[in-house]
């Protein structure tokens, strides 16, 4: 990796995103392995509760339509039904068991992973290193202090809370620094800025676009099929 004394070029948005998403996939995979038993139990509880809720809603809707109930009063009837309320609470309980342990584990691992790697001599996570990116101090190309790296990681929450506007700043030239970079006094540089993004990174980005379209479509079709089964 280049160790030139001149300031390296700022990393482009899509290279940064490809590296970040790869890092997130690594952290999520490890977190999933560590919490697999809880995830499996939560998944079973949630799917069973959702199946029951869908069945109850389908039957209640069919009965309401047969009785000529006005649409405006359907929601009130659903909320008043103790069976539907119990099923909805079971879904919430299942989701909590499914997500909370995994989210907690992921947050802890992410802090250790990002801060540890970016504060190391590599100055980069595995994803950044694969794409020849480094986190450096805002002035020049010096290695950022561990405290700055920690502040940068925590400040990343603000980039999310701004509805990703903080992240989008990384696409704004000439500095291409995200909100958390400005807060921490850091920047991300690209030691391979003169080369096109690697083919595997393009494929990784394309895969995410495909999943982003296909997954919501599959979930919608599944929910429609479940509702039709309940009505049947």
Of 221, 218, 222, 216, give the one whose Cα is nearest residue 51: 222
* Token pair recorded at residue 94: 């299942």
Q: 141 or 108: whose pLDDT is higher?
A: 108
Instruction: State residue 230's pLDDT score.
Output: 53
**4 belongs to a structural domain:** no
Residue 69 gets the label, from left (phi > 0), alpha (psi -120 to 50) or beta, of beta
Q: Is the pLDDT of residue 61 over 70?
A: no
Cβ–Cβ < 8 Å for 128, 188: yes
**pLDDT of amino acid 139:** 77
Residue with the larger pLDDT of the pair 47 and 119: 119
Query: pLDDT value at position 83?
Result: 73
Give the pLDDT confidence score for residue 19 in this predicted structure: 93
**Assigned domain for 34 exists:** yes
Task: Report which of residues 52 and 193 the model is more confident about.
Answer: 193
Q: Is residue 173, in this structure, part of any structural domain at all?
A: yes
Residue 2 has pLDDT above 50, yes or no: no
The predicted pLDDT at position 225 comes to 65
Instruction: Count other Cβ atoms within 10 Å, centred on residue 219.
Output: 10
- Beta bridge mates, 197: none
Residue 129 included in any domain:
yes
Task: Give CA torsion, residues 27, 30, 32, 36, to 10 deg.
Answer: -160
Domain-embedded: residue 39: yes
What pLDDT band is residue 209 in, cutting at 50, 70 and 90?
A: confident
**pLDDT tens sequence across 3-27:** 445 668 888 899 999 999 999 999 9
In a domain, 207, yes or no: yes
Supply 72's token pair: 């405006």
* Confidence label for 76 from pLDDT (cuts 50, 70 and 90): low
Supply the pLDDT for residue 120: 93
Cα–Cα distance for residue pair 98/45, rounded to 1 Å = 9
Contact criterion met (CB below 8 Å) for 13 and 193? no
What count of residues does the chain have? 232
d(CA 12, CA 185): 18
Confidence band, pLDDT 50/70/90 cuts, at residue 52:
confident
Q: What's this model's pTM, rounded to 2 decimal places? A: 0.76
Q: Read off the pLDDT of each residue in 215-224 and give the average, rounded to a whole number.
A: 70
Rounded mean pLDDT of 152-166?
Answer: 88
Long-range contact pairs involving 42-46 (C-beta distance under 8 Å, separation at least 24): 42/94, 42/95, 42/96, 42/97, 42/98, 42/99, 42/101, 43/94, 43/98, 45/90, 45/93, 45/94, 45/97, 45/98, 46/91, 46/94, 46/95, 46/97, 46/98
pLDDT grade for 203, boundaries at 50, 70 and 90? very high
Taking all residues of the chain, what is their mean pLDDT, rounded to a whole number?
Answer: 82
In a domain, 2, yes or no: no
Diameter of the chain by CA atoms? 79
> Which pLDDT tens digit goes with each residue over 95-138?
777 788 889 999 999 999 999 999 999 999 999 999 999 999 88
Range of the domain at 209: 9-231
Under a CB-based contact definition with an 8 Å cutoff, are residues 60 and 81 in contact? yes
Count: domains in the chain: 1
DSSP assignment, residue 227?
H
Does residue 219 sit within a domain? yes
């Amino acid at each position: 990796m280049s160790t030139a004394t001149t300031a390296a070029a700022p990393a482009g948005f899509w290279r940064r995103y490809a590296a970040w998403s790869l890092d997130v996939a690594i952290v999520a995979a490890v977190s999933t392995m560590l919490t697999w038993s809880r995830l499996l139990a939560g998944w079973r509880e949630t799917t069973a509760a959702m199946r029951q809720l869908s069945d109850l809603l389908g039957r209640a809707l069919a009965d309401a339509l047969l009785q000529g109930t006005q649409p405006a009063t359907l929601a009130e009837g659903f909320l008043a039904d103790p069976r539907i309320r119990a099923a909805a609470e079971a879904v919430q309980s299942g989701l909590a068991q499914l997500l909370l342990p995994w989210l907690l584990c992921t947050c802890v691992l992410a802090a250790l992973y990002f801060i540890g790697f970016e504060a190391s001599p590599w100055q980069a996570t595995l994803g950044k290193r694969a794409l020849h990116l480094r986190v450096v101090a805002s002035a020049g190309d010096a290695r950022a202090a561990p405290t700055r790296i920690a502040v940068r990681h925590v400040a990343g929450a603000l980039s999310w809370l701004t509805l990703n506007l903080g992240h989008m700043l990384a696409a704004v030239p000439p500095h291409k620094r995200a909100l958390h970079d400005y807060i921490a006094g850091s920047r991300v540089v690209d030691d391979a800025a003169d080369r096109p993004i690697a083919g595997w990174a393009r494929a990784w980005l394309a895969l995410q676009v495909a999943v982003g379209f296909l997954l919501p479509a599959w979930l919608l079709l599944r929910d429609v099929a479940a509702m039709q089964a309940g009505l049947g």
